[in-house]
Amino acid sequence: MPVNAELKTLLASLTKEVQQNGKSASDMAIQTKREYGKLQNALLLNPHQVDEIIFGRDLYEQCAFLAVKQNDLEAFERQVKQLKVYYRDFTLLLKGQQSPNEHKIMGLYLLYLLASDRIGEFHTELELIGSHDNQFIQNPMLLERALMEGNYASINKSIKQLESQEHYKLFLEMLLQTMRRRIADALARSSHEVTIDFAVKMLYLGSAAELKTFIEKHQAETADMSDASGAGADKWVVDEKSKKLLFREATEVEKVTTYDTISNVIGYATEIERIV
């Protein structure tokens, strides 16, 4: 069964709807996938039908973009897993007909893995990507390097530069939260308290209110992460009276002097003067 005019029209309409953030995009994606499913039966018998393969690749690309716009990370990962078959298994068959969206989508996937703190998977995917010269691949590579080095000032700067790029905002917000969690955990391991102003500055937040919101969310996410001995996670409290962020229930071995605290955190953020 060839890709007929009706199928091409469906995909063209879906593409337009996704680009315009149309309300009918989800329904159109389901309908187009349903019709493409009929083609897939024919592909099992003849896996060399180039037009059908390209159609499927283009369809899943639009579904991936749609998932990002809908903030549906699970759907995005599902679409990328489908697309990796088209990008990697049909390389020779589609030689010279590479999708212009391939690097963008795989770059977004790398950014998603990085923002999810799935560093091992990030490196595995990076190795499977042939060329790293494309800017969409370079962006997450540079961010990963900065994250591993603890160069949070560089990450914060890059986020501001990239946030206007289409489809990036969701993943950059995730990365920012991952970065803040790493810094906050370093602070908690280093001392039983720091000033609110210092915490706000180190976490790249705008106010004590934002700090309080971040901590409430962070503690909710880690509420069930207790060790085998039954010890609970540190309870962090924004004490507005003393203007300090307190780390309760920290073990004595984790507590160090204020001087060491500052030294340790500078080690994570590299050059403290670059934060401002």
Stretch(es) of the chain classified as CATH 1.25.40.990: 5-171
The whole model's pTM is what? 0.83
Secondary structure of the chain: what % helix, strand, coil (to 5)? 65, 5, 30
Regarding predicted confidence, which is higher, 141 or 264? 141
* Average pLDDT score over residue span 64-79: 97
| Residue 261 pLDDT level (bands cut at 50, 70, 90) | very low
Answer whether residue 180 shows pLDDT above 60.
Answer: yes
Q: Supply angle C-alpha 62, 137, 276, rounded to 5.
A: 110
pLDDT at 274 over 50: no
pLDDT score at 272: 42
Q: What is the pLDDT of residue 228?
A: 39
pLDDT, greater one: 66 or 232: 66
Phi, psi values for residue 193, rounded to 5°: -165, 150
Which CATH architecture fits 5-171? Alpha Horseshoe (1.25)
